Structure 1
């Protein structure tokens, strides 16, 4: 199993979600969505909050993770293959596959580190009430399936949108994307809107269709 797949598997085990089989071709393998559906049902449903007072600076991110690496470096090393770095953690080579749009890269500069639940989306669903310290923990969360290396173009197309407004163009990834989104929101106790919940339920439905 790829390192990212292992991280997701451990996360879903801890949150009670069903764990998908390992992916070998860079696309998400289908999984029974029962655990994720239960997690989704446990989330508070509320209208989307205001953006008043929001700034990315209130989510200090790409903090040091030791050995000269910050969070971005750590995710690139984790999600890539044959990644090589200098002693101060500057990435010199490697290869990456962006599951959002099925594109491959060898230049780390072509990649962004996506927050599965965007910072602004978190702000609108409960993070506005947190301290900066807690928001930093959220923005640098390497334990939950919150951070993933994807193409810069897909990350920027997504922006701060929820699944109600944006989904990966790689439809085979919708099952796993929904599970990741739900796992993050469940752990951090963030709310969902009615529309967001409905779309996530539809995306979990693709798990059943893919596995039938």
Structure 2
């Protein structure tokens, strides 16, 4: 697994009015955390300049099965349950399985009231990771990437926004919620930086533009 060289991830609330140079705490229900400070944004910009720019690799040999997920998380639960519990409000469990709660999709603001209607999105899609260097990894390393709970790689979102995104990078897809662009760019950069994945020139340009909304 690559060594960590990325800034600390603060999970962001889903209805963020992002401000530069100050820390704001959202009083809305659910999980709360500080919004990005100007220093964090600057660090993300620095990490972006350090990412290797390269043309996408071939999709030859790609399969989602090459990124084994979801891993067990104990007592008949898995990583999906872990993300649902982390990102939801008023979550109810049966054992450790999530059976009820409310989730606000950061990508489009849609409020979801059933865990069966929630998709767990990979911030950097598996196919994008393959094209960015994961094609050279072992399946165990790809499994670590697909189940990464230590970075902002997994997020509970609406199925429609997740499927709209598909395997696209920020040069061709951005969240409908423009207020999420700042955190989206930071999270994308952090994941690619930690896992030493490449970016395209258009991708880097779009990430720079998104950081400009912070």
TM-score range normalised by the length of the shorter chain: 0.7 to 0.9
Q: Please, which of 30, 33, 42 is the counterpart of residue 50 of structure 2?
A: 42
In the alignment, structure 1 residue 180 sits paired with structure 2 residue 187? yes
- Which residue number corresponds to residue 144 of structure 1? 151
Structure 2 spans left out of the alignment, 5+ residues: 1-7, 12-20
Equivalences, count: 193
Equivalent residue in structure 2 for 1:86, among 82, 94, 100 = 94
- Flag the 1:24–1:119 CA change in 2: closer, same or farther, 3 A: farther
- Decide whether aligned partners of structure 1 residues 21 and 191 sit closer, same or farther in structure 2, where only a CA change above 3 A counts: farther
TM-score scaled by length of structure 1? 0.85
1:19, CA displacement in angstroms? 9.7
* Deviation per residue, 1:6-63 (Å, 9 max, x gap): x8328xxxxxxx9964444489945422100000011001011111110000000111
Matching residue of 1:192:
199
Match of 1:118 among 108, 125, 144: 125
Show the 5 A alignment for 1:162-181. 162-181=169-188
Distance 1:100 1:39 in 2: 23
Richer in helix (by share)? 1
Does residue 73 (structure 1) correspond to residue 67 (structure 2)? The answer is no
CA contact (8 A) 1:95 1:106 kept: yes
TM-score by length of 2: 0.85
- In the superposition, relative to structure 1, how do residues 40 and 22 fare at CA in structure 2: closer, same or farther (>3 Å)? farther
Distance 1:24 1:176 in 2: 18
**What's the C-alpha RMSD, in Å, of the aligned pairs?**
2.1
Instruction: State the match for 2:60 in structure 1.
Output: 52
